[in-house]
Structure 1
């Protein structure tokens, strides 16, 4: 099968499409014929060696997938032919991938949307849960037009939370039911003209937004980031996903919200599998408005 691999750390150019064996599912696993795979910032960070480690052999990339179950291992809860979306095991930039945390794709959900939802959707739900934002409160979301921020905005609005979202294009944030505000110098003053109090801050942007967030909140209480590596030095919690949060139950919640018409997926770009390097180049800019995906088959 065709799969994207890299044998050394480096820039996007180290990515290659290779012919590798088709994986066999183990207990509780399914093999998925991948239609679309999601591209996330963590992918290029792994590829560049940012997290350290060493490479003893070529490895794959990609956390999320959407496709058709092609084979099932012992005790798997799905059947061959089921259309699913979820998290991959060992990389989703491939014609076939293994998975255990998957959920049936709703009939009205496109393959592209399905591949774009697991990672960003889980992060959005996690942020709202950890901040414990209640209906009627004011939530500032930085990066509200991005993959995670746009989903968090919609999920929060659906819960009756007033969202003020930063973006380069505030009109897009407003189309999601929130109050949009342009990021950049003067953000604190612009937000204060809109609301008198910010009850919680969800930083989905990074890019040095936390100092403004702390000034608007008045302290680090109920400020959370999923994107700023300087969080610890500022006393702000950094939230990252774990195996305990990447579950079929999370996918069920996202599928239900999507089916109810409460989630609109923002797509930045889609590339063929052979152009995974271009997808990484776009992701590394940090300015892709929405989700980047790979069309596999």
Structure 2
């Protein structure tokens, strides 16, 4: 008889109302895997892209999916079982991970659940200095920020450009982060500051106090100021919002500067970047236990802080997605697992 657990599943694509909290089969680990009893789950944009059936992707990019689907990628919890061939983890270890991303875009990451099977290569020991809620909030957002501006750390082919993304040196550079109040943005601010950059944060006015506290040297409220009309001679713009509007930041950059749209789909500057001598580059975040282990000391000692917008019980994932849809989040949404 298969064991069961509680999980949030989809039986159809749609709005938050398609998220159903119910019994699901408890995963069985295979070679190279660790079974984690989940304590908290981070909520990320790919969770609602999946829930909607990836409507924002070109049809040829949409993965084949089979219902029921358990969404989610980011977890923090305690090791329940370890495959015989796994070294470095033991039952009872507190761990965190971004599970099977982007390989699990077809719904195979399965994190909105009481238990998840994780490849040991994607897992790291949880930083002791933070709780499970903050650890679960970190993986996707922090790995995205890290792989964009510190170290890509993988050579998976880039679907959005022919060349691999290469971060640029940050020490002493003027760096603008757009969308700085959100899950990825507030971590970009801190990492750039840690690496010695002068950081300009652009966000909604409600985020100013938080972002100055996290180290931003200057702040612009996008509701009051069009920074593309005000700023010049920047070395790097990291646009955590991304998409078709990213090209508006090109005039703010000095020749030889760089624009990194975190969401690269739909970006098109009509050749303006080349005319201005500006480098535009994006990448796709990939799971990495090694990088989470490398980052853990920064979370442990408070060098990097993950801000929590709100927490919801796993059983109320629907409400969490409704809250996310309202936008203008300050940090991350997390699901607490009973």
What's the TM-score once normalised by structure 1's chain length? 0.91
Distance 1:285 1:239, change over 3 A: farther
**Structure 1: gaps (5+ residues):** none
CA distance in 2, matches of 1:234, 1:162: 30
Paired position in structure 2 for 1:186: 225
Asked if structure 1 preserves the Cα contact closer than 8 Å seen for 2:41 and 2:72, the reply is yes
Counterpart pick for 1:259 among 293, 300, 303: 300
Q: Give 1:145's aligned residue.
A: 181
Number of paired residues? 291
Q: Are positions 1:223 and 2:280 aligned together? A: no
Match 1:15 to one of 3, 15, 19: 19
Q: Does 1:61 align with 2:61?
A: no
Alpha-carbon distance between aligned partners in 1 of 2:270 and 2:71, rounded to the nearest angstrom: 32
Q: What's the CA shift for 1:177?
A: 1.2
The one of 271, 284, 292 aligned to 2:325: 284
Matches within 5 A, 1:1-297: 1-49=5-53, 50=55, 51=57, 52-77=62-87, 78-89=89-100, 90-100=109-119, 101-129=122-150, 130-168=166-204, 169-178=207-216, 179-184=218-223, 186-188=225-227, 191-192=230-231, 196-206=232-242, 209-217=245-253, 221-227=257-263, 229-232=265-268, 236-242=280-286, 246-297=287-338
- Residues in 1 aligned to 2:256 and 2:324: alpha-carbon distance in whole angstroms: 29
Note if contact 1:188-1:212 (Cα within 8 Å) is conserved in structure 2.
no
CA 1:63–1:74 in structure 2 vs 1: closer, same or farther (change >3 Å)?
Answer: same
Q: What are structure 2's unaligned runs of at least 5 residues?
A: 101-108, 151-165, 272-279
Q: Is the 8 A contact 1:66 1:84 kept in 2?
A: yes
Q: Report the alpha carbon displacement of residue 87 of structure 1 after superposing the two structures with TM.
A: 2.0
Distance 1:183-1:131 versus aligned 2 partners, 3 A rule: farther
CA distance in 1 between partners of 2:240 and 2:228 (Å):
20
Judged with a 3 Å threshold, the aligned counterparts in structure 2 of structure 1 residues 22 and 279 are, in CA distance, closer, same or farther, namely same
Aligned-residue offset at 1:125: 0.7
Q: 1:234: Cα distance to partner?
A: 5.4
**Paired residue secondary structure (2:42):** strand
Q: Deviations over 1:195-225 (max 9, x none)?
A: x520011011237652431121167951011
Could you give the per-residue CA deviations for residues 63-89 of structure 1, whole angstroms, max 9, x where no partner exists?
A: 110000001113122111111011235
Structure 1 residue 279, shift from structure 2 partner: 1.2
What TM-score comes out, normalization by structure 2 length? 0.80
Distance 1:268 1:32, change over 3 A: same
User: Hey, what does 2:160 align to over in structure 1?
Assistant: none
The answer to which of 124-133 and 9-18 deviates more is 124-133
- Mean alpha-carbon deviation: is it higher for 162-171 or for 31-40? 162-171
Superposed displacement of residue 19, structure 1? 0.7
- The Cα shift of 1:128 comes to 0.7
Distance in structure 1 (CA, Å) of the matches to 2:114 and 2:242: 33
2:106 maps to none
> CA RMSD, aligned part only?
2.1
Q: Deviation string for 1:201-258 (max 9, x for gaps)?
A: 101123765243112116795101112532145564332213xxx2122101221111
Q: How far has the Cα of 1:170 moved from its partner?
A: 2.3
* 2:181/2:329 contact within 8 Å kept: no
Per-residue deviation, residues 183-205 of structure 1 (Å, max 9, x unmatched):
1463226753xxx5200110112
